Structure 1
């Protein structure tokens, strides 16, 4: 496996990442069918602001840049040391991204491993994350890295499918 090191993001790197992560989260919510395209960017901005009321200086948040041995940046991580649902000793991975030009080389796993190391060094006993069901690449990565499903949400679009018993359940 390729080694990836991490360091704290600079203020400039954080600012650039913030714009990109808000845009990406909005798009993910649209793709998942949770938000409309018209509302997505505003809702994503609001969600991000709620999680990071002090921006880069929000307590218990870690923002990391992943680097190859030669110093080439390959990705970013956002880890919260305080779990959003209050799970004791469990950090939360809000975002992990490998730059498009570096994907497909095992760097996602290496970046994830580096993030796990930082969380462990900061006192976390576990690391939890959410992943959209349509993101099969991420699901494969996390499963192969030892993550297991702890909760699962499922949805059926009732506008496009009446279901097997539609005729017998009519009012």
Structure 2
């Protein structure tokens, strides 16, 4: 497969609304495995308000659309400062979200968007790019590993019940 290349551009207001809706729905789906749907929505919306208080205009955050060589939007990403600063450096950026649109999946665009996000972070002075991935998202884990990402922390969970 030929290596894809993408260009990142700032999202429009409409693209931001669509990306936020998609991210929140996906987050609720994942969080809903552990808490009620109502609580999941509350937490997800609190997270959006906390990390993007000014939405698309939140300082230090890049909400971008990835376009291929033909100018088609193939996905999007949200890159910003590391929220925990636990990666050992204050110059760490964080990939809050990455999305390859369905029609462009399995064609190398995930790697291309990651590469472009890394370049953006480096231009901003970051020395690393961290991210979080849900433990059962095997496709995403494989993508990150193929692109040189290593596990830096692991949280595990098991449901328990009284007997």
- Do both proteins adopt the same fold according to a TM-score greater than 0.5, normalized to the shorter chain? yes
Give 2:108's aligned residue.
106
CA separation in 2, counterparts of 1:116 and 1:34? 32
Greater Cα offset, 125-134 or 99-108: 99-108
CA displacement at 1:159 relative to structure 2: 3.1
Task: Give CA deviations for 1:63-115 in whole Å, capped at 9, x if unaligned.
Answer: 110011111101000011x2111341000000000011111111101111111
User: How big is the alpha-carbon RMSD for the aligned residues of Structure 1 and Structure 2?
Assistant: 1.5
SS at match of 2:148: coil
CA separation in 2, counterparts of 1:35 and 1:73? 34
CA displacement at 1:35 relative to structure 2: 2.3
Instruction: Say whether residues 1:9 and 2:16 are aligned partners.
Output: no
Task: Give CA deviations for 1:27-70 in whole Å, capped at 9, x if unaligned.
Answer: 1212xx33222322222111111111111111110111001111
Equivalent of 1:128, from 127, 130, 147? 130
Give 1:165's aligned residue.
none
CA separation in 2, counterparts of 1:76 and 1:17? 8
**TM-score if structure 1 supplies the norm length?**
0.87
Flag as ranges the 4+ runs of structure 1 deviating above 3 A: none
Equivalent of 2:98, from 93, 96, 99? 96
Greater Cα offset, 146-155 or 38-47: 38-47
Q: Which has the higher contact order (CA 8 A, sep 6+)?
A: 2
Number of residue pairs matched by the alignment: 158
Bigger-Rg structure (1/2): 1
**TM-score if structure 2 supplies the norm length?**
0.91
Unmatched segments (≥5 aa) in structure 1: 163-171
